[in-house]
C-alpha cells in the first residue's frame, strides 16, 4: 500500500517590512482612538517615546509630523505635542493639498475635479433645500446680493461666487461634506478663477444663482439640484470652449 502523498506546503508570502515611523504612528493613533490619549493631553517627550518603542529620534519625529498633518496633535516649539480634535480647517487643508498634487501630476485631473464638483454640488443643493432654515436662507440671499454688487470686478465676483457656493455647502450641516466642497472651491479660486466664472458671463451666472436660491428657499430639493446641475454643466461647457479658443489663438483671448 502506497503511503499518502505528503501535504504540499503553501506558497510562502514575503514579509513586508514597514518603516519604524509607521509602527510608531499606528500605536499613537490607537492610543488616541482608544481614549488613552484624550484631547488636551500632552504626549510623552521624544526621549520617552524613543525608550518606549525602542526606535530612534527620526522615526518619532516622522510619526509626529504625520499626526500633526492629520490634525490629531499640535506641535509647538519648545513644548511637548498636545492631542487635539481634527477640525474642519485641518480637513480642508488636507483635501486642498491632495487636489493640488492630483491636478499638478495627473493629465486628466482637472476634468475629474469638474465631474466631482458637479456630482457633489447637485447633491448639496438638494440637501440645502431640505435643511434650509430662515437664517441660512437669509445668508444665502446675502451671498447672492454680494455677487450682484461685485459685477465688473472679476476678482471680487469670483470671490462672491465662491461664497455663494460655500453657503450652500454650509447648509448641509455636515462638516466633512462642507470641508470637501470648500477644498475644491478654494483650489479653483486660487488656481483656476477662469473655471469658476468666465469674464463676461456675470449676468448669466447671476440668473442661474437666482434660480438655485429660489428653489432652496422654496425647499424644493429636486428643482434645486436641477438648477445647480444646469449651472455647473453650462459653466463647464463654456470653460471648455474658451480653452479651445485659447489653444487655437492664444494671442486673441487672454486667460
The domain segmentation of the chain, as residue ranges, is: 20-83, 89-245
| Per-residue pLDDT reduced to its tens digit, 164-182 | 999 999 999 888 788 788 8
Q: What pLDDT is stored for residue 246 in this prediction?
A: 43
pTM of the predicted protein model: 0.67
Question: Among all chains, which residue has been given the C-alpha cell 492610543?
Answer: 31
Question: Among all chains, which residue has been given the C-alpha cell 479651445?
Answer: 244
Q: What pLDDT is stored for residue 165 in this prediction?
A: 94
**Residue 254 predicted with pLDDT over 70:** no
As a whole number of Å, the CA-based R_g of the chain is: 25
Q: Which CATH number fits domain 20-83: 2.70.70.10, 3.60.21.10, 1.10.10.10, 1.10.260.40?
A: 1.10.10.10
Looking at domain 89-245, which CATH architecture does it have? Answer: Up-down Bundle (1.20)
Amino acid at each position: 500500500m502506497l503511503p499518502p502523498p505528503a501535504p504540499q506546503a503553501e506558497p510562502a508570502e514575503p514579509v513586508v517590512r514597514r518603516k519604524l515611523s509607521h509602527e510608531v504612528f499606528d500605536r499613537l493613533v490607537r492610543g488616541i482612538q482608544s481614549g488613552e490619549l484624550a484631547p488636551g493631553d500632552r504626549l510623552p517627550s521624544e526621549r520617552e517615546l524613543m525608550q518606549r518603542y525602542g526606535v530612534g529620534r527620526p522615526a518619532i519625529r516622522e510619526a509626529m509630523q504625520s499626526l500633526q498633518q492629520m490634525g490629531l496633535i499640535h506641535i509647538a516649539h519648545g513644548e511637548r505635542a498636545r492631542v487635539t480634535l481634527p477640525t474642519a480647517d485641518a480637513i480642508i487643508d488636507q483635501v486642498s493639498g491632495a487636489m493640488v498634487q492630483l491636478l499638478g501630476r495627473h493629465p486628466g485631473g482637472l476634468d475629474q475635479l469638474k465631474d466631482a464638483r458637479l456630482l457633489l454640488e447637485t447633491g448639496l443643493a438638494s440637501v440645502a433645500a431640505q435643511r434650509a432654515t430662515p437664517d441660512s436662507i437669509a445668508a444665502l440671499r446675502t451671498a447672492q446680493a454680494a455677487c450682484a454688487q461685485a459685477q465688473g470686478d472679476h476678482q471680487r465676483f469670483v470671490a462672491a461666487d465662491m461664497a455663494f457656493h460655500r453657503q450652500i455647502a454650509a447648509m448641509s450641516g455636515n462638516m466633512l461634506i462642507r470641508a470637501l466642497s470648500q477644498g475644491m472651491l478654494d483650489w479653483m479660486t486660487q488656481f483656476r478663477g477662469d473655471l469658476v466664472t468666465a469674464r463676461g458671463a456675470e449676468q448669466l451666472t447671476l440668473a442661474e444663482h437666482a434660480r438655485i436660491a429660489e428653489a432652496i428657499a422654496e425647499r424644493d430639493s429636486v428643482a434645486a439640484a436641477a438648477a445647480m446641475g444646469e449651472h455647473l454643466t453650462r459653466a463647464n461647457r463654456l470653460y471648455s470652449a474658451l480653452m479651445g479658443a485659447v489653444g487655437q489663438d492664444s494671442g486673441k483671448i487672454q486667460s
